[in-house]
Amino acid sequence: MRKDSSFLVLTFLFTYLNLFSQQHDSGTLRGLVTDSTTSEVLAYGNVFIKEIGVGASTDARGYFLIPSIPANKNLTLVVSYVGYKTKTIPIAIAKNKVTQYNIKLMPSSVELQTIEKIGERVVEKNETDISLQRIIVRDLEALPQGVETDVFRSLQYLPGVQSTGDVSARFYVRGGASNQNLILIEGITLYSPFHSLGLFSVIDPDMINNVEFYKGGFTAEYGGRLSSVVKTMTKDGNKNNYAAKASASFLTGKLLLEGPIPHGSFILTGRKSYSNQIIKKFLNEQNTPIDFYDFSFKTNYSNYDFMEGAKFTFNGFFSGDNIANSNPTIEDFKWSNSLLGFKWFQVGDSPLFYELSLSLSKFDGEVVPKLSDAKQSLNSVEDITAFFDLTYMFDNKDEIGVGFHIKNIRTDLYIENALGIQTNLGTSAANISLYAKYKLLQFDFIGIDLGTRINLATLSSNKGTADLEPRISLVLRPFEVITLKGAFGIYQQELITVTDENEVINLYEPWVVSPEYITPSKATHYILGFDLDIINGFTFSVEGYYKKINNLVLVNNNKASKSDDDFLTGEGESYGTELTAKINTSIFNFTAAYTHAYAYKVVDEKRYYPRYDIRNTLNLILEFNLGDGWSTSAVWVYNSGLPFTQIVGYYDKYYLDNIFAPWYQYDPRRPFTMIGVQNLARLPDYHRLDLSLTKKLNLGFVKAEIDASIINVYDRKNIFYFTRETGKRVNMLPFMPTVTFKVEI
């Protein structure tokens, strides 16, 4: 209670001070920045008032807000966004009111850069954005494509993000498991974010407007996961004209339709696999009957005559995967996602934003054994969520945010044991949480985001001690060229997956609520870092982190009887240092990212490395604009070896499963693999070079784009794993050229 009281008193004090710090001869500027040709919002652009030297950046919705501007004066607003013509407009601010300006930027005829300078917010140096990466779809398209553009594979180039190989888009953030990442589409939780054995993300980049990726230390509005948040905002659709886009790669065909509706717009996207030939490159030339699709839609409505300042959106996302083997002795797999959401976003007469959101997220997965030795398994998750979030900005730039979240979740997991008996590990429960935070932004040399999340009701009946989740982010600017950053937070997770850590490829991860006999997992984040901005166009940043996880829920692989628990708890620990250097010019961009990290798990007092523990990672990314629609990029990746469990030998083991067979027809001896200490050994180092070349064409009313990529240019033989049965070495992707063709009308 003392923590709750301290937070409320602190919030009251800040609010009290703000009420007496307002400048009554000033007003507030609010605006929306959009593309003049499509009316899509332009996230993370810069706006600047020339005469007074203050500015802001547009948020993920394209909005900006600048308080305390001198009223009734002739001022000049400069709005800039890379790839668009800078716009200068005269403005006048009304006294003690919010003045709204909606700005449309025209795309440049000559694109100066192939990638947007995401995160380079020169006008907001005190923003508390530690461990946050902002990405737009042009960032993804500029990188070499592993068959085609993929948002999760692109995240793997960021420092602090690990992968276990070319075959999977599954990612691990700062020593956390993949089920500790919260994946959101328009605020709706996506439970199975991967296609085809985890090779690709289900999120089609064509539907993305922008992505915010929190690698840790995320603020109080996010809950339910221990490691990271991937927040995806989708496009609204072209409000001016009807348009269509089609593309094809070696794997899928895609179609996008968009256009205006009365007082709004719509967008439809669809993607379908049509060939498995390229999949063989990922699976050591093995043919797997992979079949998948994804489909999304979004409509939005904004009518000032109906409700001034309101925007209503309705969106849906659906995906499905089916692995149907023609061989009756091999099991089949099916899984699907279904998401529906409604939002009401309101901009008030005062500097106030609030949003009401209702959503449904459903996941279904199934293992069909047929005549194989596999056991039938059914998993379903139904998540019904309601959010209400409110943000108010004071005249001195400080902000207060509060939110009320209700989440009702039902999970079912039917597992069949060796005797053919089914067990349901599912349950139904609700989480009711309240968050409040205060952002101190009125001083240029310091910024603070102080908040807490309170779980009023939890999914697990065993609430444990983590009902309160305090969090703080701090930024300090002692000098113009250096920014110091830090963050602390406590995070709780009650949804877990039934996953075998030793599996090389995971098809999908069944979800369940933590059982009553287990206290929910809790993680504590500590982050420190600094940014250097000495030369225009060059930035250098360092972040160090330490993460401790208590009550880490794991599958009990030693369960011997029905009375044994299905899950047990352990501990997790990870720490590391991340260094990033960027050079941005009008001709090329260069990024170097290095990570030195450690990750451990402790189960039954035994300490070991998880499979995704990588000591050293180096990513070098170079992008060139060659002019006349040509662009090229190169990515070189280096990882030190992954941990693995060694095979120490074999022996003939007797299996008495057919004792009545004649001796001359049946040999009860079969090879049995003896393995060593879990993940004690290390695979050889990994490195790979990828190249891409893109050409954009304007053919009258048709726009076309051809992208050619080469994966693993010098054909490095990177080891993937050793087969347990034979000890045979299996490598990752070989030299592989790919081509993607896009047409837009």
- Average pLDDT over every residue of 242-262: 92
Rounded to 10 degrees, the C-alpha dihedral 393/394/397/403 comes to -30
- Average pLDDT over every residue of 502-511: 74
Q: Residue 354's pLDDT is what? A: 92
Mean pLDDT of the chain: 84
Q: Percentage of the chain with pLDDT > 70?
A: 85
Spatial separation of the C-alpha atoms in residues 603 and 572, rounded to whole Å: 9
SS (H, E, C) 142-206: CCCCCCCCCHHHHHCCCCCEECCCCCCCCCEECCCCHHHEEEEECCEECCCCEEHHHCEECCCHH
Could you read off the pLDDT of 618-644 as tens digits, one per residue? Answer: 999 999 988 888 989 999 999 998 898
Residue 475 CB contacts under 8 Å (≥ 6 apart), including other chains: 125, 126, 127, 128, 129, 130, 446, 447, 448, 483, 484, 485, 486
Using pLDDT thresholds of 50, 70 and 90, give the confidence band for residue 118: very low
Mode of pairing for the β-strands spanning 98-105 and 26-35: parallel
Q: Which residues pair with 576 in a beta bridge?
A: 545, 597
Bigger pLDDT: 424 vs 230: 230
pTM: 0.89
Residue 317 CB contacts under 8 Å (≥ 6 apart), including other chains: 185, 188, 190, 294, 295, 296, 337, 338, 339
Could you read off the pLDDT of 277-332 as tens digits, one per residue? Answer: 666 666 665 666 678 999 999 999 999 888 988 999 999 999 999 988 888 888 88
Residue 492 CB contacts under 8 Å (≥ 6 apart), including other chains: 223, 224, 226, 455, 464, 466, 469, 520, 521, 522, 523
10 Å CB burial of residue 9 (0-12, 13-18, 19+) is exposed
State yes or no: pLDDT of 578 exceeds 90: yes
Q: Residue 96's pLDDT is what? A: 86
Which tokens in the block code for residue 212?
A: 């915010």
Which tokens in the block code for residue 668?
A: 């009860």
Spatial separation of the C-alpha atoms in residues 194 and 369, rounded to whole Å: 22
**DSSP secondary structure of 109-138:** SS---SS--TT--TT-TT---TTEEEEEHH
Spatial separation of the C-alpha atoms in residues 696 and 107, rounded to whole Å: 15
Count helices and strands in the chain by DSSP H and E runs: 4, 48
Q: Residue 185's pLDDT is what? A: 96
CATH superfamily of 2-105: Carboxypeptidase-like, regulatory domain (2.60.40.1120)
State yes or no: pLDDT of 660 exceeds 60: no
Bigger pLDDT: 464 vs 183: 183
Could you read off the pLDDT of 76-115 as tens digits, one per residue? Answer: 999 988 888 899 999 999 888 889 999 999 987 544 333 3
CA neighbor of 19 nearest in space, from 392, 336, 464, 380: 392
- Helix, strand, coil distribution of the chain in percent, nearest 5: 5, 55, 40
Q: Residue 463's pLDDT is what? A: 52
If one counts every other C-beta atom within 10 angstroms of the C-beta of residue 176, the result is 27
Using pLDDT thresholds of 50, 70 and 90, give the confidence band for residue 21: very low
CA neighbor of 31 nearest in space, from 13, 49, 18, 15: 49
State yes or no: pLDDT of 124 exceeds 80: no
Q: Strand runs (DSSP E) across 461-587, as ranges?
A: 468-479, 482-493, 495-497, 511-513, 521-535, 538-555, 567-584
CB 479 within 8 A of CB 530: no
Using pLDDT thresholds of 50, 70 and 90, give the confidence band for residue 17: very low
State yes or no: pLDDT of 122 exceeds 90: no
State yes or no: pLDDT of 2 exceeds 70: no
Could you read off the pLDDT of 727-744 as tens digits, one per residue? Answer: 778 888 888 888 888 888
10 Å CB burial of residue 484 (0-12, 13-18, 19+) is middle
State yes or no: pLDDT of 164 exceeds 70: yes
Bigger pLDDT: 2 vs 446: 446
CA neighbor of 557 nearest in space, from 547, 549, 565: 565
Residue 62 three-state SS: coil
10 Å CB burial of residue 500 (0-12, 13-18, 19+) is exposed
Q: Residue 250's pLDDT is what? A: 80
If one counts every other C-beta atom within 10 angstroms of the C-beta of residue 422, the result is 12
Spatial separation of the C-alpha atoms in residues 579 and 52, rounded to whole Å: 35
Using pLDDT thresholds of 50, 70 and 90, give the confidence band for residue 667: low
State yes or no: pLDDT of 584 exceeds 80: yes
Spatial separation of the C-alpha atoms in residues 569 and 520, rounded to whole Å: 10
Could you read off the pLDDT of 279-290 as tens digits, one per residue? Answer: 666 666 566 667
Q: Residue 669's pLDDT is what? A: 61
- Average pLDDT over every residue of 574-585: 94
29-33, 324-328, 547-551, 713-717: least confident range: 324-328
Using pLDDT thresholds of 50, 70 and 90, give the confidence band for residue 652: low
Q: Residue 557's pLDDT is what? A: 67
Q: Percentage of the chain with pLDDT > 90?
A: 43
CATH superfamily of 132-230: TonB-dependent receptor, plug domain (2.170.130.10)
Spatial separation of the C-alpha atoms in residues 345 and 146, rounded to whole Å: 37
CB 163 within 8 A of CB 170: yes
Rg over CA atoms, the chain: 27
Which tokens in the block code for residue 12?
A: 């009251």
Spatial separation of the C-alpha atoms in residues 51 and 444, rounded to whole Å: 18
DSSP type of residue 107: B
- Average pLDDT over every residue of 709-737: 84
Which tokens in the block code for residue 416?
A: 């069949």
State yes or no: pLDDT of 461 exceeds 70: no
CB 227 within 8 A of CB 180: yes
Using pLDDT thresholds of 50, 70 and 90, give the confidence band for residue 417: low
Using pLDDT thresholds of 50, 70 and 90, give the confidence band for residue 6: very low
Report domain extents, the chain. 2-105, 132-230
25-29, 363-367, 673-677: least confident range: 673-677
CA neighbor of 373 nearest in space, from 655, 647, 721, 170: 655
CB 362 within 8 A of CB 318: no
Using pLDDT thresholds of 50, 70 and 90, give the confidence band for residue 504: low
Could you read off the pLDDT of 25-51 as tens digits, one per residue? Answer: 888 999 999 999 999 999 988 998 988
With b for 16 or more beta-carbon neighbours within 10 A and e for fewer, the 688-709 pattern comes to: bbbbbbbeeeeeeeeeebebbb
60-69, 313-322, 649-658: least confident range: 649-658
Spatial separation of the C-alpha atoms in residues 401 and 219, rounded to whole Å: 11
Using pLDDT thresholds of 50, 70 and 90, give the confidence band for residue 121: very low
Q: Residue 601's pLDDT is what? A: 93
State yes or no: pLDDT of 261 exceeds 90: yes
Spatial separation of the C-alpha atoms in residues 474 and 730, rounded to whole Å: 46
Residue 353 CB contacts under 8 Å (≥ 6 apart), including other chains: 63, 345, 346, 347, 390, 391, 392
- Average pLDDT over every residue of 495-505: 74
H/E stretch holding 4:
helix 2-19
Residue 268 CB contacts under 8 Å (≥ 6 apart), including other chains: 256, 257, 258, 295, 296, 297
